[in-house]
Chain A
Amino acid sequence: MTMNAIDQVQVKEGVDQDTVDAVTQLSGTYKHGWETEIEMEYAPKGVNPDIVRLISSKNNEPAWMTDWRLQAFARWEKLEEPTWAMVNYPDIDFQDIYYYARPKSMEEKPKSLDDVDPKLLETYKKLGIPLKEQAILAGVEGAEMPEEGRKVAVDAVFDSVSVGTTFQKELEKAGVIFCSISEAIEKHPELVKKYLGTVVPPSDNFYATLNSAVFSDGSFVYIPPNTRCPMELSTYFRINAENTGQFERTLIIADKGSYVSYLEGCTAPKRDTAQLHAAVVEIIVEEDAEVKYSTVQNWYPGDEDGNGGIYNFVTKRADCRGDRSKVMWTQVETGSAVTWKYPSCILRGDDSQGEFYSIAIANNHQQADTGTKMVHLGKNTKSRIVSKGISAGVAQNTYRGLVSMHPKAKDSRNYTQCDSLLIGDKCGAHTVPYIEVKNNSSRVEHEATTSKVDDDQLFYCRSRGMDEEEAVALVVNGFCKEVLQALPMEFAMEAQALVAISLEGSVG
């Protein structure tokens, strides 16, 4: 199967000079593999009710929260690790992981960003995420600042704790709450109590249950009714400490008629041993509200021989509770040794909409099993899935998804397109869609193709003087276009660059 006509036109006209420039600018492989030397404080290794209590007390949590965690832990002990995903990795020893690690300097919560340990600020600066309150482009290195300045509020999470959140004051004026989840439990318990665990219940699955017991921090967002969040919100996750698991929890509530665009980025240092990351993201979308959630996942993928890397087991779900609510997931998955992630939409409200755009790139020994669930419950609900999987080296890339039309979801629509691209003859690309249609007024369409990088397109690029890697990156970028276009502008740039990085060395 060759690329579709649109992609061909773009490649042939060579209009995409920006992409080519972004690709040529980049060199080196994993750029964020360095480590911050900072004094850390750990909870003892392993997990048990005492550790759960300890994490809870470190965050100064009320008793109801501690109980909530303990109940989740009791349930987790009875659960078995799921094995259905098409990923293979050595058994994880859940008692050989630190569940809590925080920089010593964070013992006293800094009152403002000025009090934050300069080493931490330096870390984020190096990652291209300055925590100074200034107009910045999130995540784009060396990008020029637009004249009028574009504001992005950042919550920075370092191992187990939130280091700081920018622009809080300005957001407050609009009534928006953006803070770490630990702060939210302290300051807005009524909101947390009302919504936490209502989208991803503590009993949901093995990793979500573990997360419910031991999550240490994460971000909390509340957008009040009829409010358009004045700036984009962003969380940046950094794993730094060795042998540490990161368990963050994000809760986003978009009240009636509100809008927010939320970005998430993540990196980790290079290590020989694998590290666990098990996050939960819950999004509640009320009537007429809209949430855009974009992720550029760039955890350390392990080395060329498959040593080390992050095991990324994530549960993300949005509940479109209100009528006409809308959620859009966009993800660029380039990092992690193992990815197990299915951002989902529960389309409960009538006329609600869910969208999922994904690029998953797996190189070397990476394994990605990712996709989405679209559960149509309300009338006239719509969902769209565009998934692009790219495999190179000896990597395995699986799209796994569910589209379910319940009997009451009359006149609903789903369109799914998942394409796979294989670079090299040792990698694999798999598609495992589940389609359940329980009424006849709904329409479901699923399409999938698998192909290799088109020789004609490569030849064309080569004959214009590009080297082989450049040409592959350009063709791949064309293949990914649909997804990249759904990303907020800043992320689209970074994502395009990542698409090139992850494939470097795959052409031989």
Chain B
Amino acid sequence: MALPQLKADATTARLDGLSLPDGAAWATEARQAALARVTSAGLPHRRDEYWKYTDPASLVQPDAPKASLFHNDEGPLFANRDRVQIVFVDGVFSAEKSSDLAAEGLEIGLLADALATDIHWAKDLYGVLETNGQTPVERPLAALNTAFASAGAVIRVTGKATKPVNLIYLHENTTSDAMIHNVVKVEAGAEMTLLETGPAAARFSKCLEVDVAEGGTFHHVRAQGRDHERRAVTHCFARIAKEATFKSFTLTANGVLTRNECIIDIIGDDAVAHVAGACVGDGSDFHHDDTVFITHDAVNCESRQVFKKVLRNGATGVFQGKILVKEGAQKTDGYQISQSLLLDEDSQFLAKPELEIYADDVACSHGSTSGAIDEDALFYLRSRGVPHKQATDLLTLAFLAEALEEIEDEDLAEDLRARLDNWLARRG
């Protein structure tokens, strides 16, 4: 079907200023195929079903809207951890700021190098998982990223990694428009923790493709935020094999527009996939969207989605989650919860928690709630002499706790809790 004119025009306008980066033959082929996906689907528009609650216009327009920098005295996250640091400034790799990329159990390289190499393991993943994730719902912004991104990290996990890898995205230029594409291959029985931090750019498009082989474990902890005016669209495409584990947690504080999509394909029996998120938003221009799509295509697998949002001063939170259980994916245990705490009259929460189930021996449930702080709980705390602000903060943190509990590493969780405390203190 031909694209509606508006959509075709917007797509052409966006593509006009871009050109495919150079690379090895296979990389060029993958990029051209991705470009074809963009032109056939067209870039998203508010009228698309999966953009009903989030206006993609500023993600699609040719130039990135300006985003001023926000300075506070918070130091970098996870600073006390021994970790491999890979730093990108406004989407460009900085060797100078990065640490040594060698680490036990890990083979770390840069995307640009991998895509310029004729024979590289990344060939089997780059754009491949993204392509798989295009059905049944098209994700043209991810394809755009595959076509044009030239920065990013490629990580092969060959054993139990002793230190986490921290991708640090610094934002220094107020009009930067960055695209980063990371590829992670966790081999059978291997294990790693990936950390992602930083506001990245004025407009940031990030794609992460993760393949977790049999018995492998992938932990992912991400913190987005700081600069209030930044915009980001991120995609995580994961493929989970037999007895593998995938756990991802995202904390979002600030940012005028954030759309995090997580698309997980569980293809091996007895695998586990957890996706969680906590978001604190302030101001009528704050808009945060979690879009999750988990497909169960194997027996006896477990998936969990836990998303909590605290919104105030007219902030908007969106949750679109789906559990798809394919025919034959028996003994599936699927759980999904999305909750929002609206701290004032003007904030809003829009949710579409979906189930699509084609197997009968499954237990799938989802819940979604929205409301203000529980007056009874507040009264209880007040009657025990806790000041109003402190009581509200306590209840807010308690509300977010269920999502933060999804982080296995208690030290990492503690760092993020400190961020939340700061956010609450700062916003008085």
Contacts and interface: CB of A to CB of B under 8 A. Distances in A.
Interface stretch (B38-46, B342-350, B417-425): B342-350
B348 A438 contact: yes
Interface string B360-393: 1111111111111000000000000000000000
Contacts of B159: none
Given A425-B328, A435-B351, A1 B363 contact: yes
Contacts of B348: 436-439
Given A437-B342, A437-B370, A442-B371, A450 B362 contact: yes
Given A425-B330, A436-B348, A437-B350, A451 B355 contact: no
Given A440-B347, A444-B370, A424 B360 contact: yes
Interface string A403-437: 00001001000000000101111111111111111
Contacts of B370: 435, 437, 442-444
B358 interface: yes
Query: Which of A86, A436, A437, A439 has the most B CB atoms < 10 Å from its CB?
Result: A437
Contact of B372 (A433, A441, A446): A441
Interface residues of B, number: 36
A444 B368 contact: yes
A426 B357 CA distance: 10
Contacts of B365: 1, 447-450
Contact of B364 (A86, A441, A450): A450
A89 interface: no
A452 interface: yes
Contacts of B366: 431, 446-448
A445 interface: yes
A441 B347 CA distance: 11
B372 A425 contact: no
Interface string A142-172: 0000000000000000000000000000000
A151 B230 CA distance: 67
Most A Cβ at <10 Å: residue of B49, B352, B357:
B357
B349 A451 contact: no
A349 to B, nearest CB: 21
A452 B327 contact: no
B23 interface: no
What DSSP secondary structure best describes chain B's contact surface? Answer: strand
A434 B349 CA distance: 11
Given A430-B354, A435-B349, A436-B348, A444 B369 contact: yes
A443 B371 contact: yes
A84 interface: yes
A428 B350 contact: no
Contact of A426 (B327, B350, B368): B327
A11 B343 CA distance: 44
Contacts of B364: 1, 449-450
Contacts of A1: 363-365
Contacts of A449: 363-365
Contacts of A446: 351, 353, 366-369
Contacts of A425: 327-328, 330, 359-361
Interface string A50-72: 00000000000000000000000
B176 interface: no
Contacts of B182: none
A422 B360 contact: yes
Nearest to A424: B360
A84 B351 CA distance: 18
Most chain-B CB neighbours within 10 Å: which of A430, A432, A440, A447?
A: A440
B340 interface: yes
Contacts of B367: 445-448
Interface in A1-24: 1
Contacts of B353: 431, 433, 435, 446, 448
B354 A432 contact: yes
Contacts of B352: 432-435
Given A445-B369, A447-B367, A440 B342 contact: yes
B411 interface: no
A424 B352 CA distance: 27
B320 to A, nearest CB: 10
B405 interface: no
13 contacts: A425-B360, A428-B356, A430-B355, A433-B354, A435-B352, A436-B348, A437-B340, A444-B369, A444-B370, A445-B367, A448-B366, A448-B367, A450-B355
For the complex of A and B, the 10 pairs showing the least CB-CB separation, nearest first, are A440-B342, A422-B360, A443-B371, A431-B355, A437-B370, A435-B351, A446-B368, A440-B372, A438-B348, A452-B360
Given A430-B354, A433-B353, A435-B352, 20 more contacts: A1-B363, A410-B345, A422-B359, A425-B330, A427-B358, A428-B356, A429-B355, A430-B356, A433-B354, A434-B352, A435-B368, A437-B342, A437-B349, A439-B345, A440-B347, A440-B371, A441-B345, A444-B369, A445-B367, A450-B362
